[in-house]
């Protein structure tokens, strides 16, 4: 099984597109994952430059937050179609809202299915706090009602929402493994979605928990005969990244951490 490691555009917006692509290639990523804000066309060259350089491209949806259900569906569809227009491998969608009831979130899944059918671009849904897949229990409920749903697994969010390292959720994680198509590699903990630096010894327990989950995903995909698995190391900038008081200086470099996580997992899974 081929592993493709993707660099997040998140956290590097200050870099001009061509410089971003150059750095992505220099450190050894296989592709990029990029989102677009409404009305902002400044980054639209990024996926084009990436493809010209032979990199894989994944686009991301994150921006639909309105609590009016009908407006939410309309805005969501528009943003998905824009993300699909770049012809990515797939769209990673932060889908729905935790405040919507089950049938409403299922309706939003139907919007995604329609766009995927119309465009031919697969749409996978991220386990993300404040969205429809914000807890293990709601995710299980939604997958039971919509068994064809495919997931982007980011368990750092569940650690935060469940205020634990999911010690009592092993059965649910096992149950959702067949639905996982993409991994966001970030280490969360009981009080937040991102540790300050996973290389530090005080976060060893949290890192080990996440490594075991990622091991299970990779093992499951290999046993299922998958040809490839995409992985995005996704430690983000402030305010995800803790900062020092007064100066607001980040306590470590998300870029360096993401490169470290890519190399750690590439070595771990290609032995």
CATH of the domain at 168: 3.20.20.150
Q: Residue 224: is it exposed, middle or buried by C-beta count within 10 angstroms (0-12/13-18/19+)? A: exposed
Q: What is the pLDDT of residue 124?
A: 98
Q: What is the pLDDT of residue 40?
A: 84
Q: What is the pLDDT of residue 42?
A: 85
Q: What is the pLDDT of residue 156?
A: 98
Averaged over successive runs of 10 residues, the pLDDT of the chain (271 residues) comes to 97 95 98 92 93 98 97 98 98 98 98 98 98 98 96 98 96 96 98 97 98 98 97 97 96 98 97 72
Question: H/E element holding 124?
Answer: strand 123-126
Task: Tell me the CA distances in angstroms from 244 to 65, 165, 250, 251, 266, one per residue in order.
Answer: 30, 25, 6, 6, 31
Q: How many domains does the chain have?
A: 1
Range of the domain at 68: 2-269
| DSSP 8-state assignment for residue 240 | T
Q: At what angle do helices 254-269 and 204-223 cross, to 10 degrees?
A: 50
């Amino acid at each position: 099984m081929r592993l493709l490691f993707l660099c997040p555009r998140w956290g590097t917006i200050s870099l001009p597109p061509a410089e971003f692509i150059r750095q992505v290639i220099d450190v050894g990523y296989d592709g990029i994952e990029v989102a677009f804000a409404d009305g902002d066309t400044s980054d639209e060259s990024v996926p084009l430059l990436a493809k010209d350089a032979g990199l894989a491209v994944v686009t991301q949806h994150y921006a639909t937050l309105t609590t009016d259900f009908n407006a939410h569906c309309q805005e969501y569809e528009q943003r998905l179609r824009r993300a699909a227009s770049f012809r990515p491998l797939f769209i990673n969608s932060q889908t729905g809202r935790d405040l919507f009831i089950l049938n409403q979130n299922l309706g939003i899944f139907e919007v995604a299915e329609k766009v995927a059918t119309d465009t031919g671009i697969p749409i996978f849904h991220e386990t993300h706090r404040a969205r429809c897949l914000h807890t293990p229990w709601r995710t299980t409920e939604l997958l039971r009602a919509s068994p064809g749903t495919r997931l982007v697994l980011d368990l750092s969010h569940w650690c935060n929402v469940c205020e634990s390292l999911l010690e009592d959720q092993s059965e649910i994680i096992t149950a959702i493994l067949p639905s996982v198509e993409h991994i966001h590699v970030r280490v969360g903990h009981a009080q937040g979605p991102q540790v300050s630096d996973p290389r530090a010894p005080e976060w060893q327990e949290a890192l080990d928990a996440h490594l075991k989950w990622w091991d299970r995903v990779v093992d499951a995909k290999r046993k299922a005969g998958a040809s490839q698995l995409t992985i995005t190391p996704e430690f983000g900038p402030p305010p995800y990244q803790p900062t020092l008081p007064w100066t607001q200086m980040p306590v470590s470099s998300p870029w360096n951490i993401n490169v470290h996580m890519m190399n750690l997992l590439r070595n771990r899974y290609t032995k």
